[in-house]
C-alpha cells in the first residue's frame, strides 16, 4: 500500500512535538510501506529489469546469476560465517527543516543477527548518492573482493532484496545470493533477530 507523502505530527500531552515517519520521498518517488503481512499469490516470472513500484508483491522464484536460498540453506551459510548478510529494508531519512524542539523518532527495525542494514538500496531506480552509498559499502564489506559471498534479504515477498541482489550482480559481484523469504522466513525457522541500525 502506498501511503501519502506526509509526516504525521503527534502532539504529546506535555506539549513537545513528536514527528513520526510515515512516508517520505526517496530518490524522487514516494516510499512504500513494506511492513505488515506478506502478500499472497503465485510467483510471477522473472522480469528483465528492476521492479520500480509495488515492492510488496509476490516475487519470482529465480534471479538469473544469483543463488536463491531456502531458510535451511541461509542458516547453514550464516553458521559458516563466510558470507555477508545484507538487509535492504527501507528507512525514511530525518526530514530537513523540522521546527525547533521537535523530537525525531526513528522507526525500529529487527534483522538477522550479524547482518548489516544498507537502507534504501532496493528501489528500482537509485539516485547517484544512493548508488554511491551502496557501492561504497559493498566494497568496504567485501574488502574489495568481488568473489565474496553476499546474501541479500528483506521480508518475504519484498522486491527490494531482489532488486538489490540484481544490482550487486551488475556491479560485478560474482557470488550473490538472494534469501527470498528474508527475516520472516528466518524467524519462522527459529533464527534469532536483533535490533538493527543503518550502516552510514
Helix axes 128-142, 159-170, angle to 10 degrees: 70
* Model confidence band, residue 50 (pLDDT cutoffs 50, 70, 90): very high
What pLDDT sits at residue 10? Answer: 31
What pLDDT sits at residue 37? Answer: 64
What pLDDT sits at residue 27? Answer: 41
* Model confidence band, residue 38 (pLDDT cutoffs 50, 70, 90): low
Q: What is the mean pLDDT of the chain?
A: 84
* Separation between Cα atoms, residue 196 and residue 117, nearest integer Å: 7
Instruction: Sheet containing 103-104: give its strands across.
Output: 8-11, 17-20, 103-104
* Separation between Cα atoms, residue 145 and residue 95, nearest integer Å: 35
pLDDT at 77 over 50: yes
CATH ID of 41-195, from 2.40.50.180, 3.90.1210.10, 3.30.70.260, 3.40.250.10:
3.40.250.10
* Model confidence band, residue 33 (pLDDT cutoffs 50, 70, 90): low
Q: What is the domain partition of the chain in residue ranges? A: 41-195
More confident residue, 46 or 8: 46
Interval 111-150: pLDDT, tens:
999 999 999 999 999 999 999 999 999 999 999 999 999 9
What pLDDT sits at residue 102? Answer: 81
User: What does pTM read for this prediction?
Assistant: 0.80
More confident residue, 12 or 65: 65
With b for 16 or more beta-carbon neighbours within 10 A and e for fewer, the 5-34 pattern comes to: eebeeeeeeeeeeebebebeebeeeebbeb
Q: What is the DSSP letter of 198?
A: B
By the 8 A CB rule, do 150 and 86 touch?
Answer: yes
| Most confident range, picked from 7-21, 100-114, 166-180 | 166-180
What pLDDT sits at residue 17? Answer: 34
What pLDDT sits at residue 3? Answer: 33
pLDDT at 29 over 70: no
| Most confident range, picked from 3-17, 35-49, 160-174 | 160-174
More confident residue, 36 or 18: 36
Amino acid at each position: 500500500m502506498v501511503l501519502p507523502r506526509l509526516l504525521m505530527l503527534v502532539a504529546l500531552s506535555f506539549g513537545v512535538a513528536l514527528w513520526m515517519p510515515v512516508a517520505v520521498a526517496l530518490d524522487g518517488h514516494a516510499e512504500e510501506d513494506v511492513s505488515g503481512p506478506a502478500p499472497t499469490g503465485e510467483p510471477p516470472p522473472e522480469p528483465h529489469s528492476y521492479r520500480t513500484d509495488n515492492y510488496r508483491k509476490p516475487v519470482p522464484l529465480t534471479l538469473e546469476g544469483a543463488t536463491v536460498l531456502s531458510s535451511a540453506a541461509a542458516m547453514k551459510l550464516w553458521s559458516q560465517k563466510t558470507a555477508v548478510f545484507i538487509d535492504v529494508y527501507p528507512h525514511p531519512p530525518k526530514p530537513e527543516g523540522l521546527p525547533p524542539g521537535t523530537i525525531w523518532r526513528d522507526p525500529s527495525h529487527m534483522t538477522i543477527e550479524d547482518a548489516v542494514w544498507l537502507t534504501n538500496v532496493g528501489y528500482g531506480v537509485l539516485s547517484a548518492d544512493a548508488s554511491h552509498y551502496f557501492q561504497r559499502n559493498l566494497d568496504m564489506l567485501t574488502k574489495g573482493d568481488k568473489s565474496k559471498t553476499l546474501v541479500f534479504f528483506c521480508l518475504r515477498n519484498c522486491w527490494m532484496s531482489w532488486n538489490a541482489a540484481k544490482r550487486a550482480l551488475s556491479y560485478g559481484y560474482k557470488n550473490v545470493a538472494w534469501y527470498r523469504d528474508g527475516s520472516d522466513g528466518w524467524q519462522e525457522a527459529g533464527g534469532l533477530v536483533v535490533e538493527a541500525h543503518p550502516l552510514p
